[in-house]
Amino acid sequence: MATTQKPRRVGMYENVKNQFEKAAAVMGLDESVRKILSITNNEIVVHFPVKMDNGQVEVFTGYRVQHNNALGPYKGGLRYHPTVDIDAARALATWMTWKTSLAGLPYGGGKGGIQLDPKKYSQGELERITRRFTYALGDNIGPEHDIPAPDVNTNAQMMAWIADTYMSTKSPSERSKNQHVVTGKPVGSGGLEGRDRATGFGVVVTLESWAKLNGTSLEGKKYIVQGFGNVGYWAAHFMHKNGAILIGVQDATGTIYNPEGIDPEALLRYQSDNATITGYKGTQDYPSEDFFGIDCDVIIPAALGNQITEDNANTVKAKVVAEGANGPIDTEGEVILLANGVQMIPDILCNSGGVIGSYFEWLQNRNGEIWTMDDVIVKLRKKLEDAFNKVINTSVQYQTDWRTAAYIQALTRIEMAYKQRGIFP
């Protein structure tokens, strides 16, 4: 008997290419520029051995994909996750090119990481893995060439290890010039005050702009967050300050729900003590597969890609989805949301606060300055609000959705760079 085959799930890189092709067609992107931007510049794969705590040697595979540097050095995070592969790195590097261009930064796009589950390794092992990965990448990264930052399962401490390792490979007189090889470092090691909250803050700034555009505010709006790591927590923190009500949270450990509201600060303390969000007082466990169908005003997916798909997009009741993660809505899911009148603040705009914060840190290190939290927040808000307004204006000009408008805005800037500069030789 013939069986009905389930349609093939679109991969993350295919998603990015679909979005790019749609925007290129709508704007009439120059054909030569289109060819250049449809491929990556460099794809680096390194295999390196690391001695484990038990004396055994394990071999790891690390990736760094450099998509385009027409506007400046490659910029983008490093993630430690079992799903890291060359396809994911290509997709994320390409997104970074659009994100940095849209934000008006002098950067291109890069991304990478190591295929591993960091929970399975001790702190000492993670340090040796990180340092060895840095050494294996060698001059494929550099403060004026390719500048990594934290991403999924990586943090400020790991960035400090990368900076220290990279600087140690330089002559003593050159070391201090290389501190900005990575951003997202601890404040005591050249990091920027406020970099930790920049992405989550940016998500909320774009939501404030969305509310203003719709003649409302975030006060009293009910919202749910997928992922309660750095981005999810800080987004909830700033939503709480705006008077919004958190009613549902999902992460790798489970899903919790309380229609009366969940205090994000108390939940963070509970999560820190218990390594889970489940069981938090006053909440009930909720079926994880029904999470995006929770009746709310705002959804903030702040975990991994391809979470809202054709399988669950029709259940979404929210008015807006703010993409704290990269690519949380796949192509089929997006078609359904648009048809249902759900607005989407696209990832290359919504979560760009992190890379803008990284740019500020890079400038601070490069110029030998120290910026205060107040400096950072004011400058960050201005860049995000400017980018949001440009996307809305482009959307009106081209009569298209916000994601396509964001791409058009980003691609226009890169197209201009190529046309003005020409191609060598």
Q: Quick check: bond before 425 cis, omega within 30? A: yes
For residue 42, the cross-strand partners are 66
CA atoms within 13 A on the CB side of 334: 23
Give the CA distances from residue 31 to residues 35, 38, 415, 422, in Å, rounded to whole numbers and listed in that order.
6, 11, 10, 14
Question: Who contacts 268 (Cβ-Cβ below 8 Å, separation ≥6)?
Answer: 228, 233
Is 212 tagged catalytic? no
Q: What is the largest CA-CA distance in the chain?
A: 74
CB 71 within 8 A of CB 417: yes
Angle at 34 between CA 31 and CA 38, to 5 degrees: 145
Could you tell me the CA-to-CA distances from 215 to 210, 257, 266 in Å, in that order? 9, 28, 31
Which amino acid is residue 377, in one-letter code?
I
CB-based contact 232:303 (threshold 8 Å): yes
8 three-state secondary structure = coil
- The residue from 75, 99, 111, 221 that is catalytic is 111
Is 46 in contact with 133 (CB distance < 8 Å)?
yes
Residue 80's Cβ-count burial label (10 Å; 0-12, 13-18, 19+) is buried
Residues catalogued as catalytic = 111
